[in-house]
A and B are shown apart, each in its own frame.
Chain A
Amino acid sequence: EIVLTQSPATLSLSPGETATLSCRASQSVGTSVAWYQQRPGQAPRFLMYDAVKRAADMPARFSGSGSGTDFTLTISSLEPEDFAVYYCQHRDSWPMFTFGQGTKLEV
């Protein structure tokens, strides 16, 4: 079973700053990682796929990097609406899907 570990658990920044969120896999997953954003009281929203590619309509300030076991979501020039919880996800051995435990990005 692949475990995804996200760090930090909480990241405190201000609008305009750059956020760097980490997701580490317990074994290599290639580039098959997705990222989601979840605002309070809302369902998760799909952000990134293949570790580095943005979903349609996602702003260019969101970028992803990494392969193998280490992945990063970077959000530059933080906007007020970016403060939320972010999750990474990978499809483990069928039929399991694994999520990281989340990073809360707070003001």
Chain B
Amino acid sequence: VQLQQWGVGLLKPSETLSLTCAVSGGPFSGFYWSWVRQSPGKGLEYIGGMLHGESATYNPSLKSRLSISIDTSKQHVSLRLSSVTAADTAVYYCARGVVVGGTYLFDYWGQGTLATVSS
């Protein structure tokens, strides 16, 4: 399973961050396709995710600015974060959410995309 992601890396405040993650080498349905970000020098923050056929779910702290969608035909997962500020500067990862044993976790990750917000 491979997750290959891309998107614009440099944004100005108030712009919209758009990222796409392409999934290959494994099934697409039945997994919780998610986004996790990591601010410079910081830990991991869950952003949101989506199961095919269901509504996306979001971190409440970002919900008003966030949109996650999936295109099953292309096996793509997309993220849009509007009205970005410097606080949104981070490496953004797409990840595959799955239940393993009794634990809901992320077993495959994209390579990460650095999004920098600067005027």
Residues of A within 8 A of B (CB): 30-34, 36, 43-46, 49-51, 53, 55, 87, 89-91, 94-102
A49 near B43 with CB under 8 A, answer no
**How far is the CB of B70 from the nearest CB of chain A, in Å?**
15
Additional 9 contacts, C-beta under 8 A, given A31-B103, A34-B105, A99-B46: A34-B100, A44-B106, A45-B109, A46-B105, A46-B107, A49-B103, A96-B60, A97-B97, A100-B43
**How far is the CB of A84 from the nearest CB of chain B, in Å?**
13
A87 near B43 with CB under 8 A, answer yes
A99 near B44 with CB under 8 A, answer yes
Interface of B is mostly: strand
A89 near B43 with CB under 8 A, answer no
A37 to B6, CA, bound (A): 23
Which of A30, A87, A101 has a CB less than 8 Å from the CB of B102? A30
The reply on B59 being an interface residue by CB < 8 A is: yes
B103 near A43 with CB under 8 A, answer no
A91 to B44, CA, bound (A): 13
When distances are taken between beta carbons in the complex, the residues of chain B under 8 Å from A94 are 57
> Chain B 81-111 against A: per-residue CB contact (8 Å), 1 yes, 0 no?
0000000000001000100111111111111
- Given A94-B57, A100-B43, are A43 and B105 also a contact pair (CB < 8 Å)? no
A12 to B117, CA, bound (A): 34
